[in-house]
């Protein structure tokens, strides 16, 4: 990879800014001062240093966010803050994007990465990656609802959902449930409850595949996935 590209990717500025930086003689490749932006470096073999600091090059970033309500799961939005806006600049330089979408008012597990292949795998309808949600429901959730979801329900546009596994945590005027679904239609959980005459009043994703929401993350907080979690996602 070209040295200027590497440094720009790692957040040392635009290509133009990096070129200026190189001119000042503060960049060394394997101890040798390099001023040529076109210089090729092998990210596996060469050691790049800027101002005596080693540049740890990596291509991909994998983050787990506890998405807060009120923020859009997209890279850009004209009116609202996005999940990318609330990342620190050091993470934004990787140009990551959210894997799949949560509604503006939905909280919980959101994976954010710049690994397009992995994102495609996780969101492709072909792979049926299960997603589990915790929800508060206006109305008494019953065993009949469990059976209806097990068979699949008909959404407002006529779409027949695949079976979903509904677990009732508490059933009252305001019920609490967990629901696992294997597809991701627009507003799917909310519309599945509408199909049985009930309304979701709070929704939080707690699991995607084998990745669980880290309960130490407050809404709006995020952390890097561990190496084990990244491995799980790739399997």
Among positions 75-104, residues that touch ligand URA (CB under 6 A) are: 102-103
Size of the site for ligand URA (CB under 6 A): 8
Cβ at position 230, least distance to ligand URA in Å: 23
Residues 179-208 interacting with ligand URA (rule: CB under 6 A)? 187-190, 203
Smallest distance, Å, CB 209 to ligand URA? 15
> Of 103, 105, 172, 231, which residue is the catalytic one?
103
Separation of alpha carbons 72 and 158, rounded Å: 27
Residue 219 to residues 109, 127, 171, 190: CA-CA distances in angstroms? 10, 28, 26, 21
From the CB of 51, what's the least distance to ligand URA, in Å? 44
Binding mask 101-120 for ligand URA (x = CB under 6 A): -xx--x--------------
Question: Is residue 103 annotated as part of the catalytic site, yes or no?
Answer: yes
74, 86, 116, 165, 214 from 179: Cα distances, Å = 24, 28, 27, 6, 18
Instruction: List Cβ neighbours of 128 (8 Å cut-off, separation of 6 or more).
Output: 162, 182, 183
Binding site for ligand URA (CB under 6 A): 102-103, 106, 187-190, 203
Residues forming the active site: 103
């Amino acid at each position: 990879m070209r040295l200027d590209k590497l440094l720009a990717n790692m957040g040392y500025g635009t290509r133009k800014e990096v070129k200026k930086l190189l001119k000042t003689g503060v960049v060394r490749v394997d101890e040798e001062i390099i001023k040529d932006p076109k210089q090729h470096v092998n990210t596996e073999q060469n050691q790049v240093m800027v101002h005596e600091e080693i540049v740890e090059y990596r291509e991909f970033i994998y983050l787990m966010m506890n998405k807060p309500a009120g923020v859009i799961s997209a890279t850009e939005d004209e009116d609202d803050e996005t999940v990318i806006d609330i990342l620190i600049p050091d993470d934004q330089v990787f140009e990551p994007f959210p894997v799949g979408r949560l509604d503006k008012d939905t909280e919980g597990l959101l994976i954010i990465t710049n690994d397009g292949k992995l994102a495609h795998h996780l969101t492709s309808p072909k792979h049926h990656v299960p997603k589990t949600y915790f929800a508060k429901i206006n109305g008494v959730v019953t065993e009949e609802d469990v059976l209806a979801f097990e068979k699949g329900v008909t959404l407002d546009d006529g779409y027949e959902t695949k079976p979903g596994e509904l677990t009732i945590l508490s059933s009252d005027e305001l019920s609490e449930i967990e629901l696992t679904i294997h597809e991701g239609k627009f507003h799917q959980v909310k519309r599945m409850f509408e199909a049985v005459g009930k309304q979701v009043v709070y929704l939080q994703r707690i699991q995607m595949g084998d990745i669980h929401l880290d309960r130490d993350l407050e809404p709006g907080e995020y952390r890097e996935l561990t190496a084990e979690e990244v491995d799980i996602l790739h399997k």
